[in-house]
A = this chain, B = another copy of it.
Amino acid sequence: MPKVVDHDGRRVELIEAAWRTIARTGWDSATMAAIAAEAGFSNGALKPYFATKDDLLAAAFDYIYVQTGRRMAAATAGKHGLTALRAYCREILPLDDTTLDEARIVIPFWYKALASPHLAARHEHAMREWRQQLQRHLTEARDAGEIRTPIPDEHVIGHLLTALLGAQITATLMPTLETAQTLTAQLDSFLTLLKPV
């Protein structure tokens, strides 16, 4: 009988191996051979799934986006308004080993996206989805009277997402200045500023 290969399963295994390898050694050092070895496959095993390292990076970005989305759904389940908004934002912040590793993938992704309209479009699509979710939680918080700032929603959301993306930089590159504690305090401070006076 021919061996049955679970192609979707293997694809995810390879993405996870890529993700671990890139986070640990950096994008430049993470060769296709090193990623295959991390996943326990031979050198050529990646090619049928990902023709180039850029394809793999795009898939790793999608994977992180889906994983973050799952965490957001779990963290906001049963929560409403400002509490849900806070829980949602916290899942974007790099606060633990997993999310710090995600930041170490997303920075190479941004760098590659600068020269790739295709990757930039993928990023923008993801960010538009997050903005919509932020809007949903913000509207709920306003309806509940938990947020009463005169600042228009679009600026609250734009600023919040820009700061959450900036945290990927500060947490990975300045770990002595910005920690889980300071980034959480900054998020809470900003949300406090939006409350009723």
Please, what's the 1-or-0 string for A108-120, where 1 marks a CB less than 8 Å from any CB in chain B? 1011011100001
- Subset of 10 A-B contacts with CB under 8 Å: A27-B115, A107-B114, A114-B172, A124-B173, A127-B170, A127-B174, A128-B177, A161-B166, A163-B163, A165-B170
Q: Is the CB of B110 within 8 A of A107?
A: yes
Residues 106-140 of A at the B interface (beta carbon under 8 Å) = 107-108, 110-111, 113-115, 120, 123-124, 127-128, 131
Q: Which of A38-46, A67-75, A189-197 contacts B (4 or more CB under 8 A)?
A: A189-197
The residue of chain B having its C-beta at the shortest distance from the C-beta of A128 within the complex is B177
Contact partner of A127 (CB less than 8 A), chosen from B154, B161, B167, B177, is: B177
A-side interface mostly: helix
A115 to B170, CA, bound (A): 15
Name the 5 nearest CB pairs between A and B, nearest first.
Answer: A166-B166, A26-B115, A111-B111, A162-B166, A159-B186
Contact A158 B177, beta carbon cutoff 8 Å:
yes
Task: Identify which of B113, B173, B193 contacts A151 (C-beta below 8 A).
Answer: B193
Copies of this chain, tallied across the complex: 2
Give A contacts to B, CB under 8 Å. 25-29, 104, 107-108, 110-111, 113-115, 120, 123-124, 127-128, 131, 149, 151-152, 154-156, 158-159, 161-167, 169-170, 172-174, 176-178, 182-183, 185-186, 189-190, 192-194, 197
Q: How far, in angstroms, from A161 to B173 measured CA to CA in the complex?
A: 13
The answer for the CA separation of A26 and B111 in the assembled complex, in Å, is 9
The residue of chain B having its C-beta at the shortest distance from the C-beta of A178 within the complex is: B158
Q: A155, B185: Cβ atoms under 8 Å?
A: yes
Bound-state Cα–Cα, A131 to B123, Å = 29
CB distance from A112 to the nearest CB of B (A): 8
| Given A165-B166, A166-B167, also A173-B120 (CB < 8 A) | yes
With known contacts A114-B172, A115-B29, A128-B177, A159–B189 Cβ distance under 8 A: yes
Residue of B nearest to A106 (CB): B169
